[in-house]
Amino acid sequence: MSPGFASKVPAVAALDWGTTRLRAWLIDGSGKVLAERRGDDGLITAREKGFSNVLEGHLGAMGAPETLPVIICGMAGSRQGWLEAPYVTVPSPIGAILAGAARVPGQKRDIRIVPGLAQRLADTPDVMRGEETQLAGAGLPAKGREIVCMPGTHSKWVPVEDGAVTGFGTWPTGELFSVLSAHSILRHSLGEHPKPVTADNPFFRRWCQTALSEGGDVTSRLFSIRAAGLLQDLRPDDAASCLSGLLIGGEIASARRRYGIGAAPVVLVASGALATLYGEALALAGLSVRTVDADEAVRAGLVEAARENGMIARTGVAR
């Protein structure tokens, strides 16, 4: 048997299992991806169909052996998920988080779920699930201080020092955009189906710059988008760009105020359009950026978690 053939045998299945979506990969003993599937059977669907049924459906479709171990991250490990994987309290080394994966009982397979993180501070309690695995796969150096920005529905900003998470914060930027677009008076300004916001829209850039100079205060500017529609004939697509620029600029200004971002590049863990928008906004803030693809980061983090839990060997690493 040649090494090339041997490497096509899966050693572990890895799942990023969120609220509304999941992604699953078969991984060989060296960390290489052999197969991938995406589904919209996230936590909400899986609560109805059964987590085990959903999992076995995807594994079967990829031809996974019956005893293949499985490593999972994301909301599947929440109280409303398959099994609550208790939070690890920060500060904590990233490796220790992954090693604390909780085993799902009563299953033929060895199925483990990576715990989320909890910041148990009286004034700034916070939680994350899934992003800790992205962090582990973001290729952060073992030494030095990094500020990691992971944008999304609930954007996370994480200072990491010498490979340990020292704390984190959540800015619900994506959720604010969708909730305000759909349910606030701004729905009249944005219309029903605004085009996707692009980083080269001058309204995105201008409102982002304004927000960057306001220290995270965005509520004082929200109604101006409505007023600009009434007084300045702002078009719906541009109104969406205003709102996006305002919220993203406000998030960056606020996180910068909290964490005091220095000269080192911000590590931006993002994919697609979000990566472009945040890359532009961080540049407008005068910050240098190192972008890590979010999809690759979560997969690499799951491979790392499989190693930390002894599901695949530490040797023969390939990324």
Q: Which chain residues interact with its own copies by CB under 8 A?
A: 79, 87, 118-120, 122-127, 154, 169-173, 175-176, 179-180, 182-185, 210, 214-224, 226-228, 230-232, 247, 250-251, 253-255, 257-258
Smaller CB separation from its own copies, 185 or 318: 185
Q: Shortest gap between Cβ of 12 and its own copies (angstroms)? A: 30
Q: Shortest gap between Cβ of 87 and its own copies (angstroms)? A: 8
Smaller CB separation from its own copies, 163 or 172: 172
Smaller CB separation from its own copies, 70 or 225: 225
Smaller CB separation from its own copies, 134 or 309: 134
Smaller CB separation from its own copies, 142 or 231: 231
Q: Shortest gap between Cβ of 135 and its own copies (angstroms)? A: 18
Q: Shortest gap between Cβ of 64 and its own copies (angstroms)? A: 33
Rounded (5°) CA angle 20-107-102: 65
Q: Shortest gap between Cβ of 28 and its own copies (angstroms)? A: 37
Smaller CB separation from its own copies, 226 or 307: 226
Nearby residues of 309 by Cβ (< 8 Å), 6 or more positions away: 71, 98, 99, 101, 112
Q: Shortest gap between Cβ of 251 and its own copies (angstroms)? A: 7
